[in-house]
């Protein structure tokens, strides 16, 4: 465990004129971001940081650390909305026993939402010079932990486990390595992702950059919301093909069962925390530039005003990124996947001093360090899964970050 901070935090939030483009205000220094449809938060600098120790109590530790930090802060908040005052950005590893979970409170946070904009500064925060984003140049790709053929073989083994009755579903992830001519500027990736995938949550936390379509939880007061995605097909070659693919996805017994498993896991996690919970009877189609998903928006009201991190702790890992039943699926992942997911498929997002916040599942993402990036994609494996089709789905999902790198 390591902790770095300025004590006590002296925090000031004021209303500002609409910055229009939040990402354009980011300096070239470890940017933090959470953006959807041009709204959200961006931050830079570090007023406090904690490397959260792994283990079953990591969410409790994180909440305790933040509660202590924020309780001791001197806060002047002239805005008083979710995301104003001190905010921590965080990334939790998929595997609770893995190192790498981090919480960071930026020195500066700029935000806009619902026609309002505000600026939060901590201490005597100076504004860093904003230089133009730098293109990474030519990109070379290489297999990650497994080749395509090896990964297909692991999918086939997972299907046999499912048919043998060991489990109903398991999500297997694949990674890809990219090396650029020049250091990769995360702002370039963020700009491309936010423009092309406005429906997604474009994020950047401690080198993990991506655009996830999956909202794990939005927490505002006692209201909570989760967007469940499971069941995927590629976009078609035209409107007619697109519609046919969407209809086939909606009618697919395999994909509907996969989606039902994911929704059930969210219902089971939220029900003990909520005094009211609404789960749609039928999924909708979420159409993105590269794929279509089956989607269900679950809403509820918390019974005891729990922090957003309490909800995240109850929900992770969902069946959408782990499998069903959870314990058996995690065992198969460790046996077959052949890699450390790090923060991929883990919770990523932000929390303020009230316990409000938004957290997604870190999908369609990459770890960026210098000239190198490690890209991730995953697929839900069911009894009817075809290894070649699952590989094609993974490649379609990897195109998101390939586009971010290449333009």
The per-residue pLDDT for 6 is 52
The per-residue pLDDT for 127 is 67
Active site (catalytic) residues:
169, 214
Is residue 167's pLDDT more than 70?
Answer: yes
Q: Give whole-number Cα distances, 183 to 72, 139, 140, 142, 208, in Å.
A: 38, 11, 13, 17, 15
CB distance 160 to 174 below 8 Å: no
The per-residue pLDDT for 30 is 84
The per-residue pLDDT for 333 is 97
Q: What is the C-alpha separation between 123 and 112, in angstroms, rounded?
A: 22
220 falls within a domain:
yes
CATH code of the domain covering residue 190: 3.60.120.10
pLDDT class of 231 with cuts at 50, 70, 90? confident
pLDDT tens, residue by residue, 5-19: 556 899 999 999 999
The per-residue pLDDT for 254 is 87
The per-residue pLDDT for 289 is 85
CB distance 296 to 280 below 8 Å: yes
4 falls within a domain:
no
In 271-359, which residue ranges form alpha helices assigned H by DSSP? 308-315, 326-336
76 falls within a domain:
yes
Its domain, for residue 387, covers 10-125+137-406
Q: What is the mean pLDDT of residues 22-41?
A: 94
The per-residue pLDDT for 14 is 97
Which has more pLDDT, 73 or 319? 73
Task: Report how many domains make up the chain.
Answer: 1
227 falls within a domain:
yes
pLDDT tens, residue by residue, 242-262: 899 999 999 999 889 889 988
Lowest mean pLDDT among 137-141, 235-239, 281-285: 235-239
> What is the pTM assigned to this prediction?
0.93
Burial (CB < 10 A; 0-12, 13-18, 19+), residue 72, is: exposed
131 falls within a domain:
no
pLDDT tens, residue by residue, 103-151: 999 999 999 999 999 999 998 866 667 889 999 999 999 999 999 999 9
Burial (CB < 10 A; 0-12, 13-18, 19+), residue 283, is: buried
The per-residue pLDDT for 288 is 86
3 by DSSP, 3-state: which? Answer: strand
386 falls within a domain:
yes
pLDDT tens, residue by residue, 320-351: 899 999 999 999 999 999 999 999 999 999 99
The angle formed by the CA atoms of residues 45, 46 and 50, to the nearest 5 degrees, is 150
For the CA atoms of 319, 322, 324, 325, the dihedral, rounded to the nearest 10 degrees, stands at: -120
Is residue 213's pLDDT more than 80?
Answer: yes
Closest CA to 105 of 116, 121, 117: 121
298 falls within a domain:
yes
1 falls within a domain:
no
Average pLDDT, the chain: 93
pLDDT class of 160 with cuts at 50, 70, 90? very high
- CA 259 to chain CA centroid, Å, is 19
Which has more pLDDT, 91 or 255? 91
């Amino acid at each position: 465990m390591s902790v770095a901070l300025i004590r006590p935090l002296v925090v000031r939030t004021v209303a500002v004129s609409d910055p229009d483009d939040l990402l354009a205000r980011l300096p070239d220094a470890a940017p933090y971001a959470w953006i959807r449809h041009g709204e959200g938060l961006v931050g830079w600098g570090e007023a406090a940081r904690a490397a959260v120790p792994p283990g079953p109590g990591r969410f409790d530790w994180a909440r305790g650390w933040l509660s202590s930090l924020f309780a001791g802060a001197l806060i002047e908040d002239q805005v008083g909305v979710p995301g104003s005052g001190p905010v921590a950005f965080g990334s939790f590893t998929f595997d609770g026993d893995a190192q790498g979970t981090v919480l960071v409170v930026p020195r500066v946070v700029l935000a806009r939402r619902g026609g309002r904009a505000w600026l939060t500064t901590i201490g005597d925060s100076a504004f860093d010079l904003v230089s133009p984003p730098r293109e990474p140049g030519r990109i070379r790709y290489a297999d990650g932990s497994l080749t395509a053929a090896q990964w297909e073989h692991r999918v086939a083994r997972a299907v046999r486990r499912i048919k043998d009755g060991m489990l109903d579903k398991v999500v297997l992830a694949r990674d890809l390595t990219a090396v650029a001519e020049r250091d990769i500027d995360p702002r370039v990736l963020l700009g491309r992702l936010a423009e092309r995938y406005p429906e997604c949550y474009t994020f950047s936390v401690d080198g993990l950059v991506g655009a996830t379509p999956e909202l794990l939880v939005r927490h505002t007061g006692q209201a909570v919301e989760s967007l469940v995605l499971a069941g995927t097909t590629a976009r078609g070659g035209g409107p007619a093909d697109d519609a046919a693919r969407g209809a086939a996805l909606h009618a697919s017994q395999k994909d509907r069962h996969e989606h039902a498993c994911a929704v059930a896991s969210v219902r089971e996690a939220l029900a003990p925390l909520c005094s009211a919970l609404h789960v749609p009877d039928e999924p909708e189609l979420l159409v993105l530039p590269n794929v279509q998903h089956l989607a269900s928006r679950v809403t509820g009201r918390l019974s005891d005003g729990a922090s957003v991190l309490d909800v995240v702790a109850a929900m992770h890992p969902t069946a959408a990124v782990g499998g069903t039943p959870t314990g058996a699926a995690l065992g198969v992942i460790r046996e077959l996947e052949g890699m450390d997911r790090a923060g991929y498929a883990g919770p990523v997002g932000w929390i303020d001093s009230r316990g409000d916040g938004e957290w997604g599942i870190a999908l369609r993402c990459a770890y960026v360090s210098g000239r190198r990036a490690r890209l991730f994609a995953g697929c839900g494996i069911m009894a009817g899964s075809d290894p070649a089709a699952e590989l094609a789905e993974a490649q379609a999902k990897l195109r998101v970050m390939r586009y971010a790198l290449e333009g």
